[in-house]
Amino acid sequence: MKRIVYFTLLLALLGFELPEKKVRFFMIGDSTMADKPLAGNPERGWGQLFPQLLTSEVEVRNHAVNGRSTKSFVKEGRWDSVMKQLRSGDYVFIQFGHNDSKITDSNRYAAPQTTYRNSLIRFVNDARSKGANPILVTPVMRRKFDSKGAFVDQHGEYPGVVREIAKQMNVQLIDLHQSSQKLIEQHGVEGSKKMFLWIDPRHYTAMFEGKKDDTHFSDYGAISVASLVCAEMKQKNIAAQYLKVSVHPEKYEYELPKIYSPHFKKDTFSVVNYGAKNDGITLNTIAINKTIEACAANGGGVVLIPAGLWLTGPITLKSNVELHTAINSVILFTDDRKEYPLVKSSFEGVNAARCQSPITAEGLENIAITGHGIFHGSGDAWRPLKRNKLTESEWKKHIARGGVVTEDKTTWYSSAGALKGSLTNNIGKLLPGLELKDFEEIRDFLRPNMLRILDCKNVLLEGVTFENSPAWTMHLVTSQHITIKNVSVKNPWYGQNTDALDLEACANVLVDGCKFDTGDDGICIKSGRDEEGRKRGIPTENVIAKNTTVYHAHGGFVIGSEMSGGAKNLFVSDCSFIGTDIGLRFKTVRGRGGVVENIYAANINMKDIPGEAISFDMYYAAKDPVPLAGEERALPKVEILPVTEATPIFRNFYINNIVCNGAAKAVFVRGIPEMRVSNVVFNNLKMKTDKGIECTEAQGISFNNVYLQPTDTNPLVHIQNSADISFNELRYAPNPAMIMSINGDRNGKVKVTGADLSSFKNKTEFRYGANTALLELK
C-alpha cells in the first residue's frame, strides 16, 4: 500500500496526471438491451447504441444478454460478475421482463409477484451495498396490434411490479414500458415495422432467410428507444449531467431527429442483360426501365448500371429497388426534349404541368440511387440563358446551336414555345378545366426537375453525382425518412433555377457529406406556395444537414420562399459555404403565410460571400440576391397590413459559431411591420465583412460574443423600427466612426453590455432619430 502511495506522489511531482476515473453505467437485462454482432446483422439492442447519447465521461459496460430473465441472469453467475466490478458512484440500469414470463421454461420463468419481485429487490439492495445507484427500467414493449389497429400490451403484471418496487424502495425509475408504447403507436401498424426486424429474405447475411420479429430492434428502433431512456433521465434528473449535448448547444444529442435508411435484397440485375448498350449512341430508356421492372417483380434488389456512357430518356423507379451505378459510369439523359412527355407535376409549390423528370419516383417505399456514377441532365438544351452571364464568344457559340433569342437580344430560349411561355409567365399551373394537352405549345418552357421524388418513404441517395440539371436538381416532395449522403451536384453557375436540393413538405431527413456547386440555392427548404401550400399544411420538419460544402449558389442553407406549409426543427451544422451569394438565407414574402420556427445552425464557415453572410428577409422579390453591376433596386414599400393566415412568421432561430471571411454584410434582418422577425439568438460570430449588422422590424434579437471586422463602420450596427435588441460582448476592429445608428419610432430599445468601445472614446455617436438612442452601456 505504501509503495502505491509513494508511486502516486512521485508521478505528481514529476508532473504526470493520473487518469480520471470515468463514471460507469452497468447494463443488466435481456436481448432488447444487449450488444449484438455488427457484421451482416441488422439487429441492435438499445443499450448498444446508448453510449452514442452520453458524454465521454461515461463508460458503458453492457452485461445484458439475449434470452435472460432475472432468474437465469442470477443462476448463471452473471450478477455475481457485475457485483465484483461495482464501485461507489456507479449506475446500474436493470431491465428484465421479456423472458421472465416464459412459463413453460423452468430455467427462465420468474413469477411476477415472487421470483421476479425478489430478484429485482436483490439487484437494488446489492447495488446499494456497493454504493452504486440502481435504476429500474420497465420492460420495453413488443410490437403488437389487433385486427382493428389497437395496440396490445403483452407484459401482464411485470411492469407494475417494477413500478411498485421503485416506489417502495425509493429507486429511480425509467418507465420504458409506457414511453415505448406511445412511440410504437405514433409510428402506426406499418410504420412501426422499421423499428423492429421485419426483414425479407436475402437482405442480410446473418438473416439470409429473412425474419418477422416484433421484439428485437433495428438500428433505427434501438436508437429511438435509447433516446426514450435519455428523455426520462433528463425529465427526472437521473444522471442527467452525463447526457451528451449535441453540436447545437440548445439541444441534447438524443433530441435530434432519427432517420431510417432502407435496405435491399442482394439479388442484382444488370441493365446489360436487358439490352442496354454503353456506346453513348443507343437510346437505353426501354432497357433500363425493363431492368427496374424485372427487379421489382422479383420483390426488389439491385439494378446495376456498369461502367460506360449510357444514353437514355426518363427513368422511373420502383419500390424496393436500389439503382446502383458503377465507377466510371455516366448516365446521359438525351437532349431530345420530345422524349420527356408532359405530366402532372409541380413547380415552386403549386400543382403544374411539367415535362417528365429524367428520374421519377411516386408513391414508393424503399428506393435508392447509389454508387459512383454521374447522372448528366443535358440541362443546356432546356434552360434559358442571359447574355450578360457569358463572354461574347461563349454567347455566340451557344446561340449557334439553335433556339431563339428575345427581341432585345438579351436572353436565349430553347424554342419559340419556350419563349412564348416566358412572355406569358405561364408556369403550367393546372387550373380547373385545364388539361396537359393545353400546354403542349409551351412544353419546352415547362422544363423538368432532374430528380423528382413524390410521396415516398425510406429513400437513400448515396455517392452519386447529378450535373447539368434542366431545373431543380433533387426535388423531394411530401416524402419521409430520406438519407442523402456523399452526393455531389454540379451545375453551371449561371444555371437558372438549378437548386441543388429542394426538400418540400418532407420529414425526417439526413443530408450528410455532400458537395453542391450550382446556379441557384444549395440546400433549400420548402413547403408549398401561398394558399395551396397552406391548404396542404405539411411542414418540412426534422431535418439534419451536416458536413456539407456548398460552392457557388444563391444561398448555402435556405428556407423559402415557398414555405407556406411551415418549417420546423431543422438542424444545420459543420458546413462550409464558399462563394455562395448568401450564407444562411431565410426568405419569404406577404401572401405566403406559414410558420418557420425552431431552426438551429452551428459551426458554419463562410468565404467570399457576395451578399449577406446571414439574411432574414420578408420582402423577397424573386430576384438574384446580389444585383448585377449597374443594376438599380428600389427599396420595398413600407406599410402595415392586417395579420391574416397569409402573414408569414419567422421565429425561434439559434445560430452558433459562425466564421466568415468576406461578405458584403455580416447580418441582415428585415421583417414586416405587422410581423417582425422574432427571437433570434446569435452566439459566437466572427466576421470580416464590408458592413456590420442591420436589423429592421425585428424583436428579441440577441447578439452574444460578436467580433466584427468591417471595412465600413458608418454605422457598424443599424437598427430601425425594432425592439429588444441586445449585444453582449460586442467587439470590432478599430476604425473610429459611428458605432451604432438607431432610427424609428416603434419602441426601439437596445442594450449593450461588455462592448469594447475603447477605440471610439469621445467620437462614438448614438442616434435615435434626431434624439439620443435608448442605449445602456455597462
DSSP string, 513-576: S-EEE-SS-SEEEE-B-HHHHHHH---EEEEEEES-EE-SSSEEEEE-SSBTT-EEEEEEEEEE
59 an active-site residue? no
Report the C-alpha gap between 271 and 291 in whole angstroms.
6
CB-CB contact of 524 with 501 (8 Å): yes
CB-CB contact of 551 with 492 (8 Å): no
> Position of cell 449588422?
693
CB-CB contact of 585 with 559 (8 Å): yes
| C-alpha count within 13 angstroms, C-beta hemisphere, residue 475 | 27
Q: Of 624, 547, 543, nearest to 582 (Cα)?
A: 624
Which one of the listed residues 31, 224, 227, 378 is annotated catalytic? Answer: 31
Which one of the listed residues 63, 216, 324, 481 is annotated catalytic? Answer: 216
The strand pair at 58-62 and 23-29 is best described as parallel
Angle between helix 176-191 and 219-236 (nearest 10): 140
408-437 in b/e form (b: 16+ CB < 10 A) is: eeebbbbbebbbbbeeeebbbebeeeeebe
CB-CB contact of 312 with 360 (8 Å): no
Which one of the listed residues 17, 56, 147, 209 is annotated catalytic? Answer: 209
What value does the CA radius of gyration of the chain take, rounded to a whole number of Å?
30
How far from chain centre, in Å, is Cα 226?
A: 20
How far from chain centre, in Å, is Cα 370?
A: 19
192 an active-site residue? no
177 an active-site residue? no
As given in the structure block, the three cell numbers for residue 734 are: 478599430
Report the C-alpha gap between 194 and 667 in whole angstroms.
42
Q: Of 742, 752, 702, nearest to 722 (Cα)?
A: 742
Q: Kindly report the CA angle at 133 between 132 and 135, in degrees rounded to 5? A: 140
3-state secondary structure of 92: strand
Report the C-alpha gap between 64 and 78 in whole angstroms.
9
Name residue 485's amino acid.
K
Report the C-alpha gap between 457 and 436 in whole angstroms.
28
> Position of cell 426520462?
232
How far from chain centre, in Å, is Cα 170?
A: 41
Kindly list the catalytic residues: 31, 209, 216
